[in-house]
Structure 1
Amino acid sequence: MTDTLQETTQGAPAPAASTEAAATVAAEWLAAFADALERGSAPDLEVLFVEDASWRDFMAFTWDFSHKIGRDELVPRLLELAKAADARGFTLNTDQPPFEFNGEVAAFFDFTTRDRLDRGHVRLSTATGRPLATVFQSQVDGLQGHPERIRHHRPIGKVHGTVPNRTRWSADRRKELAFEDSDPAVLVLGAGHNGLSIAARLQALDVPTLVIDREARVGDTWRKRYASLALHSSVYGDHLPYLPLPPTWTEHTPKDKFADFLESYVTLLDLNVWTSTTFVNAHYDEVAQRWTVRVRREDGSIRELHPRHFVVAAGLYGNPRIPAIKGLETFTGVYTHSDAFQDGDRFPGKTALVIGAGVSGHEIAHDLAEHGTDVTMLQRSSTYVVDFPTYHKIWAGLFHEDTTVPPDYADQMAYALPNALSDELQKKLVKLAAKEDQELLDALVARGFKLDWGADGGGIYGSIAVGKDSYHINIGAAQLIAEGKIGLKQGVELVEIKDGRTGVFSDGSEMQLDLIVFATGYDWLWASIRPTLGTAAARIDKAYGRAADGEYANTWRRSAQPGLWFGTGFIRMARYYSKFMALQIKAIESGIEPMDPSGDPAWAASAGFTPHDRADSDAATPALG
């Protein structure tokens, strides 16, 4: 299955001339699949899959994420759930025809389950002469009877004809935004790409939603970061729901441009956002199944809101962390956390120490070096490094200028593998990237830089999965380190400041300093929020990371606490996963699903889990708090 795994991330669709043959293969397989499923025939279903095939389901059959690896596990579970959910109507998707993809056929198909509209994806090998599925994926795409307000169902805007006491659109928007005589069904904490993606999805499903953010403007969390910051992903993967970036957009997005886009996104999609609003605390009423959430508005007043759902979408990290250093308060130069650092051009001719060798540490050191600062990076442990062209060559195969697969379908392909198989794939790709970058990596090691390969060998994605940011996508800083143009101190700590400007290190060495930048990370956000939620927080062991079932713990799915949701991740993840959170919340608000299903044995049996029993199965994965 090695080749199949690599092709999930790499490769490009074959020319259009091959699509007719691909469609024939896909139609043959899907017809046999639908027939075997309808008859409940395990033998006939088994012969349609390779032995090590995988299946990942995103709420098409149950209201949760699940997966199976291996034909012997996959087939009986698929038969069981298809019968329970009344799966039917399997037809090839007409918006994205089948195509050849690195020696296999990639196809999408539509079907329904009892209350859902669903879409599937399959990868078919024809190596044995008949099409066999290597990768199978299914996902909810909508709710029957509850269409998104897009395209043919879009809002009217202005009703024609005579409307007594007609109100104006702008006045209606102000009233909707104020929530003066009503409460939102959903309150979202955080107006970054995660929170706004969720809000946009819910808005399209007619679920009253309010987003709160402590910053004065949407996007300020990006505007206030260091001036040289830009997105490491490219434009092809950076679209948010419903609003693709225009073809004139820069390939790589500067942070201020992205901040302005987020602010425009709110305006263009009519999202309800309160800025300069600070979350104070919240209490969940188990009987009423509602929250009481207290927030502080810009004028200092306290407003109480009573949503049924509270979504924490403010990211993984909270307050900046600066280590305790003896005499730091006596430093007569400038010291700052990377969170507050701005421009490298303020320190030409000065001597700077950047503590930390992750993304921020590298980019700030790079910025300072470009502006004539004598800068040294202090690398306290080890860092995973991958060169920018290598990163995009290996990890962005579905998201590039010449792709013919729209983002909605590319996302489905990218997330088709169960996390366990994706983890193994990442290890292979990390090794492949290391060969591409061998010259650069050797030069870094020669300078004394300590490399690692990410958490459990998984590179960037392995590290992100466990909440670590000790990685760097190189856009120039690594070369400067390798050439000695950025100094390096490795494996030591800054332990003391003496005589106003002298930094003393744990190995006894000293350095005269004008500037110290602490690129030393942040406290866990959940650690600071947990005390504000009272007893409701007790059920949450962690947010993000992996749960016992191998999916993300309490994130983008029901958490162990009814009505409490978590959404976090990079842009593409937010775009994809926000759909499932929003549809599940809509199902609850529409009475399709209960608010708390844990007391229903039939529900728990059909879903294959009990939400309140999602324990941490990976001791190496840190809990948030």
Structure 2
Amino acid sequence: MAGDKGQNEAPSLGFDDEYFARVLPTFVNLGATPPDNLDAQAIARDWVASFAKHVELHDAPALVASLLHPAGWWRDLFALTWDLRSFAGAAAVTAFLRDCLPTSGLCDLTLERAVYQPLFPDLAWVLVRFAFGTTAATGRGTARLVYGPDGAWRAFAVSTQLDGLRDHPGLRGERRDFRAAHGDWEARRAVEREFADEDPEVLIVGAGHGGLAIAAYLKHLGVSCLLVEKSERVGDNWRNRYDALTLHDPIWSNHMPYLRFPASWPVFSPARKTANWLEFYVDALDLNVWTSTEALSAVRNEQTKKWDVRVRRADGTERTLRVNNLILAQGFTFRTVTFPGQEEFQGKLIDSTQYRSAKNLDAKKVVIIGACASAHDIASDCVNHGIGDVTMIQRSATYIISNSAVRTINPASEWENRPLDEVELDRFAMSLKIQFPMHARLAAALHARDRELLENLTRTGYRIRNGAEDDRGPFRLIFETGGGVYIDNGACQKIIDGKIKVKSGSGVAKITPTGVALADGTELSADVIVVATGLDGERTPARKLLGPDAGALVPGTAGLNAEGELRGSWHEVDGLNNMWLMLGNFASARFYGKLIALQIKAKQEGIFGPRYTPQSSE
């Protein structure tokens, strides 16, 4: 969406909500419209120069008064606070800077790039990217400058992000391994992987894309790390799902750290192809993984200040690993749901985790309980394999996005024409409380783009969330609830064409010998019932590993805290020192995995923190 003024056609608003209209820095709210033919670079140079001057003087009040919009935001991603924090409004930002400017050693502010972004007909800003240093680290930041009635450009949103550690740049230049491997490389790798003589510094439970991303960053930083994965092979969490499964995010946003997907890769990667890539990734980056290994328990030893983690390996032997840091990257487990009467069902009852394909499914009538991604994919697969009577039970409304709409909000041109870290800096910099109203406006544009599809679905009785009075877009829905969205991969047209029937608005009362009885009194006959009720709580595997007391401290990840940050993901868990929770798609794993790895390295080197707690009064 970035570009010079007038280059990109901004989407029509099409959505009028008082709250969001009040939050965003629209021209009406600002009382001014930016001039034509503005010089974004000159505006940015002046702003960064003034920013640097106030920082050097540690003059937080003057900085905020002259450079920040009164309703502005500042998001710090572990750079000045060693935490993930958002501060809203002049008073909160002033207090934060008054405390953190002296302690962090913020310095060396330099302009990297600036571009004018006309985002909507009534909203535009100059996006500024800058670099900086602190006492311990290097960082990158952004400022989104808006135009005021006094002719001044002030920041509506500022971000400061940890990007590296000053004296620990990782495996580059003379810090790389210059040993020649004269036939002993495999033997050296076997010794390194076994950790026979000493325990790793970091243990990661789960070798999915999130765990592997952090492990890659830790290896680059010279931190010894082991991943334990209970599956037989890396990638089995994708490989052992149904055949029709694909990634729903386009491949250009899904690159793993240090190793991009080839340009020839499918845009929406098949699950098994993704699984094989992750297995290849482990081999290519020499990551240490124990497969067929289950983490049985984890206890914080307050005497040694380490985590004692008991694991069982493939041969049945157990070992207790004593590690400085523990990262939980198991992801979500699937919810196991049982229904009254299901033991009496005379057909075949399959959980979605056991479903592979309808290729050899001997059935004339299939009922699928659920209506999110897996349910749609399975229903579509059944139709593709010739099953003539397929019904989805939709208990609550679903948010639908077409494949083309996803490519509109996540375009290849943005990811493939610029460095990944620059795109990430732009996309992850703003507080979610600003991103949400921005995405609410985009939701209106998506709704207009998908209008025909959504109207046709509604005519079938399918319940959609798009366009409702409280529609805030799929982005917010995923962050606040953890789901409820289906990116259409072909099932929607089958619903419109009547090839997939949908029963909406009523839950399952019980399973009968011949089908599914619904709460509204109707019954659907079936030869096969597939239960696709979604994911369990993200705390379930953590509580199993940690036990009830420590497990109770692990927060849920859906929903925001008071500052507008996610409650659990990507943080060190409050009350559980040196334990981290990793969740998210490929892009967020790549971005936040680096930040977790840098914090762990900083702790190992004794240059971490402390985390920010307010000291000054407002």
Cα deviation for residue 3 of structure 1 reads: 12
Distance in 1, matches of 2:406 and 2:285, equals 32
Tell me the residue number matched to 1:148. 170
Q: Are residue 284 (structure 1) and residue 306 (structure 2) matched?
A: no
Tell me the residue number matched to 1:619. none
Distance in 2, matches of 1:54 and 1:428, equals 19
Tell me the residue number matched to 1:351. 365
Q: Aligned with 1:522: secondary structure?
A: coil
Distance in 2, matches of 1:564 and 1:199, equals 15
1:37–1:79 contact (8 Å) kept in structure 2: no
2:370–2:392 contact (8 Å) kept in structure 1: yes
Cα deviation for residue 403 of structure 1 reads: 5.1
Distance in 1, matches of 2:205 and 2:374, equals 25
Tell me the residue number matched to 1:80. 99
Tell me the residue number matched to 1:119. 140
Distance in 1, matches of 2:23 and 2:503, equals 42
Give runs of aligned pairs for residues 282-431 of structure 1, distance below 5 A. Answer: 282-315=298-331, 317-326=332-341, 328-347=342-361, 350-373=364-387, 374-393=389-408, 395-397=409-411, 399-400=412-413, 404-431=417-444
Q: Which string of whole-angstrom CA distances, capped at 9 and with x for unpartnered residues, describes residues 505-558 of structure 1?
A: 333333331211111123324234314324433433434543344322232122
Q: What amino acid sits opposite 1:136 in the alignment?
A: V
Q: What amino acid sits opposite 2:138 in the alignment?
A: L
Check 1:312–1:44 CA distance in 2 against 1; reply closer, same or farther (3 A cut): closer
Name which of 17, 20, 24 aligns with 2:42: 24
Check 1:530–1:272 CA distance in 2 against 1; reply closer, same or farther (3 A cut): same
Q: Aligned with 2:158: secondary structure?
A: strand
Q: Are residue 554 (structure 1) and residue 575 (structure 2) matched?
A: no
Tell me the residue number matched to 2:10. none
Q: What amino acid sits opposite 2:51 in the alignment?
A: F
Structure 2: which 5+ residue stretches go unaligned? 1-19, 27-36, 119-123
Tell me the residue number matched to 2:12. none
Q: Are residue 137 (structure 1) and residue 137 (structure 2) matched?
A: no
Q: What amino acid sits opposite 2:594 in the alignment?
A: K
Q: What amino acid sits opposite 1:546 in the alignment?
A: L
Name which of 123, 127, 130 aligns with 1:109: 130
Q: Which string of whole-angstrom CA distances, capped at 9 and with x for unpartnered residues, describes residues 229-250 of structure 1?
A: 1111112211111112222222
The count of residues paired between Structure 1 and Structure 2 equals: 577
Distance in 2, matches of 1:581 and 1:330, equals 49
Give the root-mean-square deviation of aligned CA atoms: 2.8
Tell me the residue number matched to 2:257. 241
Distance in 2, matches of 1:452 and 1:68, equals 31
2:139–2:164 contact (8 Å) kept in structure 1: yes
Check 1:567–1:458 CA distance in 2 against 1; reply closer, same or farther (3 A cut): farther
Name which of 281, 287, 294 aligns with 1:265: 281
Tell me the residue number matched to 1:522. 535
Distance in 1, matches of 2:42 and 2:275, equals 46
Cα deviation for residue 310 of structure 1 reads: 1.0
Q: Aligned with 2:142: secondary structure?
A: strand
2:203–2:323 contact (8 Å) kept in structure 1: yes
Tell me the residue number matched to 1:192. 208
Cα deviation for residue 86 of structure 1 reads: 1.6
Distance in 2, matches of 1:593 and 1:40, equals 22
Tell me the residue number matched to 1:253. 269
Cα deviation for residue 290 of structure 1 reads: 0.9
Distance in 2, matches of 1:130 and 1:541, equals 42
Name which of 228, 235, 238 aligns with 1:219: 235
Distance in 1, matches of 2:512 and 2:115, equals 66
Distance in 1, matches of 2:316 and 2:132, equals 51
Q: Aligned with 2:446: secondary structure?
A: helix
Name which of 26, 30, 47 aligns with 2:66: 47
Q: What amino acid sits opposite 1:144 in the alignment?
A: R
Tell me the residue number matched to 1:449. 462
Distance in 2, matches of 1:191 and 1:545, equals 26
Cα deviation for residue 481 of structure 1 reads: 1.4
Q: Are residue 489 (structure 1) and residue 503 (structure 2) matched?
A: yes
Cα deviation for residue 264 of structure 1 reads: 1.0
Distance in 1, matches of 2:404 and 2:448, equals 13
Distance in 2, matches of 1:239 and 1:319, equals 25
Distance in 1, matches of 2:616 and 2:65, equals 23
Tell me the residue number matched to 1:35. 53
Distance in 2, matches of 1:488 and 1:217, equals 37
Q: Which string of whole-angstrom CA distances, capped at 9 and with x for unpartnered residues, describes residues 63-106 of structure 1?
A: 1011122344334533432222121111123xxx4333335432
Distance in 2, matches of 1:226 and 1:607, equals 55
1:385–1:472 contact (8 Å) kept in structure 2: yes
**Which of 71-80 and 376-385 deviates more?**
71-80
2:67–2:154 contact (8 Å) kept in structure 1: yes
Name which of 497, 506, 509 aligns with 2:519: 506
Q: Which string of whole-angstrom CA distances, capped at 9 and with x for unpartnered residues, describes residues 281-320 of structure 1?
A: 11111121111111111111112111111111111x2244
Tell me the residue number matched to 1:210. 226
TM-score between both structures, scaled by the size of structure 2: 0.87
Check 1:122–1:365 CA distance in 2 against 1; reply closer, same or farther (3 A cut): same
Name which of 590, 612, 618 aligns with 1:575: 590
1:350–1:514 contact (8 Å) kept in structure 2: yes
2:96–2:614 contact (8 Å) kept in structure 1: no
Distance in 2, matches of 1:201 and 1:458, equals 35
Identity of aligned residues (%): 33
Q: What amino acid sits opposite 2:50 in the alignment?
A: A
Distance in 2, matches of 1:498 and 1:66, equals 52
**Which of 59-68 and 529-538 deviates more?**
529-538
Q: What amino acid sits opposite 2:166 in the alignment?
A: Q
Tell me the residue number matched to 2:87. 68
Tell me the residue number matched to 2:78. 59
2:76–2:85 contact (8 Å) kept in structure 1: yes
Q: Which string of whole-angstrom CA distances, capped at 9 and with x for unpartnered residues, describes residues 233-275 of structure 1?
A: 1122111111122222222211111111111111111111111
